[in-house]
Structure 1
Amino acid sequence: METIIGTIAGILTSISMLPQLIKVLKEKEVENISHGTIIVLICGVALWVVYGVLKNEWPIILSNGFSVLVNVTLHVYYHVYKKN
């Protein structure tokens, strides 16, 4: 039961930024996104990946690894669409 709950929690938190990324890709607008929040989130989920590796917990590694990918992509597009 613990693994199921952890897996569901990991999936939900991993996909939580997908709507934001999709909106940015559609609208090409990032003015209302906090750059600092993206950076802190990337650092946090990257540390969760490290923790998962240390504990050999694949649900933690995979869900947070996906979250790193989504948030790094959002960070890249933040800089692509940011108005100078």
Structure 2
Amino acid sequence: MEWLGYVAATLTTIAFVPQALKTIRTRDTRGISLGMYVVFTIGVVFWFGYGLVLGSWPMIVSNAITFVLASVILAMKLRHG
């Protein structure tokens, strides 16, 4: 049943990519809540850690990718307002 984890991880990570790419390209962060992105990024770190504890590769890989994208957006939000 681990394939369910792979499907879920792939879909949720892919769903995040278009918004991340748009934000990176346009550098427009006005519509992004700083508080939400801080909490979201911290949550992704905890999901990553939980994946490590469980040894769940879908959780580890998807949250590592999402962390990188979320961190870039968070940094842009902090820099560009």
Measured against the shorter chain, the TM-score band is 0.7 to 0.9
Matching residue of 1:68: 67
Query: Normalised by the size of structure 1, how large is the TM-score?
Result: 0.84
Aligned equivalent of 1:7: 6
Percent identity between the two aligned chains: 27
> Deviation at 1:7?
0.5
State the distance in 2 between where 1:64 and 1:9 align.
12
After TM superposition, which residue ranges in structure 1, 4 or more long, deviate above 3 angstroms?
none
Of Structure 1 and Structure 2, the greater helix share is in 2
Long gaps (5+) in structure 2 = none
TM-score, length-normalised on structure 2? 0.87
Other structure's SS at 2:35 match: helix
Q: Compute the RMSD of aligned alpha carbons.
A: 1.3
Distance across 2 between alignment mates of 1:43 and 1:16: 19
Q: Report the number of matched residues.
A: 81
Please say if residues 21 and 70 of structure 1, whose CA atoms lie closer than 8 Å, have aligned partners that are also in contact: yes
Structure 1 unmatched runs, 5+:
none
